[in-house]
Amino acid sequence: MIKVSDIVRIGPVIPVLAFESVEEGEAVCRALYEGGVKVLEITLRTEAGLGVIEAASKIADDIVVGVGTLTKPEQVAAAKKAGAQFGVSPGLTRELHDAAVAAGLPLLPGCMTPSDLVQAVSFGYEIVKFFPAQQAGGVPMLQAFYGPFPTLRFCPTGGITPETAPNFLALPNVVCVGGSWMTPKSAVAAKDWAEVTRLARGASQLAHHHAQKAA
What Rg, from alpha-carbon coordinates, does the chain have? 16
What is the predicted pLDDT for the residue at 207?
57
Task: Give the amino acid at 83.
Answer: G
Whether pTM > 0.85 for this model: the answer is yes
- Of 76, 89, 22, 87, the closest CA to residue 49 belongs to 22
Q: Looking at 80, 129, 195, 213, which residue is catalytic?
A: 129
Catalytic residue at 58?
no
41 classed as catalytic: yes
Burial profile 12-43: b = 16 or more Cβ within 10 angstroms, e = fewer = bbbbbbbbeebebbbbbbbbbbbbbbbbbbbb
Q: Which of 41, 54, 80, 195 is catalytic?
A: 41
Q: Domain-by-domain residue ranges, the chain? A: 4-203
> Do 16 and 41 form a contact (C-beta atoms < 8 A)?
yes
Q: How far apart are the first and last CA of the chain?
A: 18
pLDDT tens track for 170-197: 999 999 999 999 999 999 999 999 999 9
Does the domain at residues 4-203 carry the CATH identifier 3.20.20.70? yes
Q: How confident is the model at residue 12 (pLDDT cuts 50, 70, 90)?
A: confident
* Predicted confidence band of residue 40 (pLDDT cuts 50, 70, 90): very high
pLDDT at 1: 81
